[in-house]
Structure 1
């Protein structure tokens, strides 16, 4: 784990204005690494995210026998090799590693042990493990159904049909689908339970599988059929990270400034339309041109009633905006974020309450009524998104002290410097 680094959030003294070139999407980088590791030839990952989560994924694949060359920050080269154990994988606190890598390990020969940061043992994992068992994979998990975990791979996964309750995380589905072309019978996966959250991430998974040559049928609701076949080496162009851009967009809204995310593609695999709609409803003006995706503040942040189930990663930043808005907000549809890096619903209720907002905690979200702001020590819970929320509050409230900003290295190691430069104009 990264050593904690206390930090005072800088206060904005005027409208911010900046064009940012942010690193690549964590979600796309993680999927590209897995698909490259399972391919029939070399792959290139262009403008990947180099951060703790993606470094852990690259290291996991290396541990299993894949050659991942990350020496060039702009282009990572991946050369697949025979998957083998014994091996030990550190998942850190990364949901992508703890859910995408075990199905890969099932294709290896020999045991592969998984463990990670202390809180990783509390993150949900049982549904994907039960599905793997139903497909013939032998594994040993902790009594609670999670980490530490040993996958006893034989080099072959029979595949076939499996049923899963993926209401706790779309990563349960994505983790199985990414490896499914390598299963002897492919995979027919059926979700049974409450709705699967973060549907855009599932679409990203199926799009990327098809780009690598897989045959995927997702035409029936809550059913995914992946035929057995070969995944091909590919050049992956990684988009800028939309979730990572959210606090910077929020800064434009809070200060009445403008922030442009440079190099934003005209066609995206990320849920940009949903994000634009939400930010517009909260008072922003959003445009896209050859310069990139630009968010402008209008001098007003509006309260909103919103279902965030498709963009749950943005909940902490949206909640921070709601705490600074001109009226109350209701944010719903995100019960599953209680199982993220921390229980984000409970954590946001506690920490935003410290800063002056009146916060009602619901099973699937938050009711937030802005109140007179006050300084506070904002606990980040080793969660990068909580640190982002605190930074947004700190734009307008002097004396917001983060207990740890180093946790932002999970997805954006340079966040403190980028943020300070944005706020101060340096």
Structure 2
């Protein structure tokens, strides 16, 4: 962990700012995979440029996909002059892919590697070795892929691509990550028989973060794939992608609504107002649920032509909520709950123990170190607000822990956030954006 400590700014007045949040990481990385598998070139406009998305782009380049940065001021798309042009090519092996600590990269790219001509070696940060990957590995083996992982069910590993995969029906326990399902669906149209993914349930029960699978399904359909999903009246926990061509698209990436969480939280805890530009009217992003969750905690929101206007109500309420589908929002929500006027119970998020870090243990440890009272449960956190004091807030190289620490620092003097640079994983130049938020200038991601 870094020894660098960032003094989290404290708000002396209610915040009042307009925020442009960078593009969605989830949409950018899905778009890159689908564009790489398409029959024709495509454009991804307003992509997120962050560590996770650059690792995805570099991984695809290593397998022979052309990805070019373009700037075209006459594109006609607001902010759309910033784009990646993706040039599909036969996937090649004899490549090395660095996944960093990006769940989407470590899970989405091995199925593509099975379609490559030759072996592809995957490695990453030390923490990536501890993150669940066995579901993807076992599923690909069921579909006929050869993978060497020395029996770990985790990184590092080598996929021996044979320039194709038969595909068919596969059973996977996706209770630890919805990305296991998305990984197989994204490449499924390129399998000879397509793919049918059945979630077994296992000991973990439900698939977490279902909105992310719905995002995968919607983006597959927009690329021309035929997909059957449970929400369309199909079998529960069963998804099917038919074999077929994928279309090269001209896609504009939505703002990352989950990354809007700390900015909306700033309005809530300071009784201020934040406008998040270009908030979509209809979206599959889990972050859209912030409107409801933070309203329940004492704020109010309104969708306008400019975007989402969110205003804090002057007092913060505790929250009793099942966050199973929106676990990535939990760290910032926990920070807000620690500043509330009544207790909170956050449930359904046991899967956060195997994210960038054990987020439940980390949140409990760090909030308690500042004087809070947080207790871990089997599947969540019980939070009783207490007066907080300054101190070091460790982030465990986890971007969402870092933004949670920044929120606490808004109303708690002397909070020092360790390694704020880890936010670059999905939110480049977060410190600069945060400073702009507090000075009332437009915040442009």
Bin of the TM-score, shorter chain as denominator length:
over 0.9
Could you tell me the TM-score, scaled by structure 2's length? 0.94
Matched, 1:238 2:249: no
Give the superposition deviation at 1:57.
Answer: 0.2
Taking a change above 3 Å as real, the CA distance of residues 257 and 324 of structure 1, as seen in their structure-2 partners, is same
Separation (CA, whole Å) in 2 of partners of 1:213 and 1:108:
22
CA distance in 2, matches of 1:382, 1:273: 25
Gaps of 5+ in 2: 72-80
State how far apart, in whole Å, the 2-side matches of 1:76 and 1:337 are.
Answer: 32
Structure-1 residue corresponding to 2:389: 374
Q: 1:317 maps to what in 2? A: 332
1:422 and 2:437 correspond: yes
Which residue is equivalent to 1:50? Answer: 49
| In 1, Cα distance between equivalents of 2:280 and 2:260 | 14
Conserved? CA contact 1:93–1:119, under 8 Å: yes
Is it true that 1:211 corresponds to 2:212 in the alignment? no
Contact 2:108 2:186 in 1 (8 A): yes
Provide structure 1 residue ranges, at least 5 long, that are not aligned to the other structure: none
Contact 2:113-2:159 within 8 A present in 1 as well: yes
Q: How many residues align?
A: 425
Alignment of 1:23-422 (within 5 A): 23-72=22-71, 74-193=82-201, 194-218=205-229, 219-271=234-286, 273-422=288-437
Q: Deviations 1:61-94 (Å, cap 9, x if unpaired)?
A: 0000000113547111100001001000000010
Q: 1:228-263 CA distances to partner (integer Å, 9 max, x unpaired)?
A: 000110111110000110000000001000111101
**Displacement of 1:382 after TM fit?**
0.5
Q: Which moved more, 1:130-139 or 1:14-23?
A: 14-23
Contact preservation (8 Å) 1:188, 1:223: yes
Q: TM-score, normalised by structure 1?
A: 0.98
How far off is 1:273 after superposition? 4.9
Taking a change above 3 Å as real, the CA distance of residues 413 and 3 of structure 1, as seen in their structure-2 partners, is farther
Maintained 8 Å contact 1:186/1:227 = yes
Q: CA RMSD in A?
A: 1.2
Secondary structure of the corresponding residue to residue 178 of structure 1: helix
Higher mean displacement: 186-195 or 259-268: 259-268
Measured after TM superposition, the shift of residue 425 of structure 1 is: 2.9
Q: Secondary structure at the match of 2:160?
A: strand
